[in-house]
Structure formats: structure tokens, C-alpha cells
Amino acid sequence: MDHGRLQMHCSNTTEVHLLRFWEAGNVRKDGELMSLDMLLNDENLTVIQDSVNVNRQFMFRQCLNEGSVYMLSGCDVTRSNPKFPDVTCPFLQ
């Protein structure tokens, strides 16, 4: 562990609902694509932010549809950075 960050590989499978996804660009490199970012809900209605590396996103991006349900497995889980507080959004409640 480094600086209190938890990072682990997930062997469990969970059902997630894809709320939104978008391309994240690097503003310092003229908008160069960095990742595909997503907001998901799990079966407990926990909001999950997910990022997929630009080199991996092309494998399945065409299959993603907002509002669809997917099985998520083999993921890396990292504790959120304490420098960035949780945000309460009324439309996500």
C-alpha cells in the first residue's frame, strides 16, 4: 500500500448498471484521448466511477450502451483519494 491507497484485484463478479460514459481527454495534449470514464451502479445502488485505459477501451466500447446492465469481473479496486471529497448529486439519489 502507498499513502493509504488500497489496490487489489477483484475475483468476484457483480452486476452493474451503466449510467453514463464519456471520453476523457488530456487538456495539456490537445485533447488526446486518455481513457473512457463511466458511472455505474451496483446491486446496492452504490455509485461507482470507472476508468478504462485508452489502450483497452477499443476492445469493448462498441458494446457499451447507457442504461444497460453488465456483469463486471476481474477489476482492480482502488480506494478514492481523500484529497477529493465525495460529491452529493441530487439526480443520483
Express each pLDDT in 26-65 by its tens digit.
889 988 888 889 999 988 888 888 888 888 888 878 888 9
Q: State the pTM of this model.
A: 0.66
pLDDT tier for residue 5 given thresholds of 50, 70 and 90: very low
**Per-residue pLDDT tens digits for 64-93:** 899 999 888 777 766 767 776 665 656 554
**Cα distance between residue 50 and residue 27, in whole Å:** 20
Distance (Å, rounded) from C-alpha 60 to C-alpha 16? 16
Mean per-residue pLDDT for 13-24? 90
71 in Cβ contact with 15 (< 8 Å):
yes
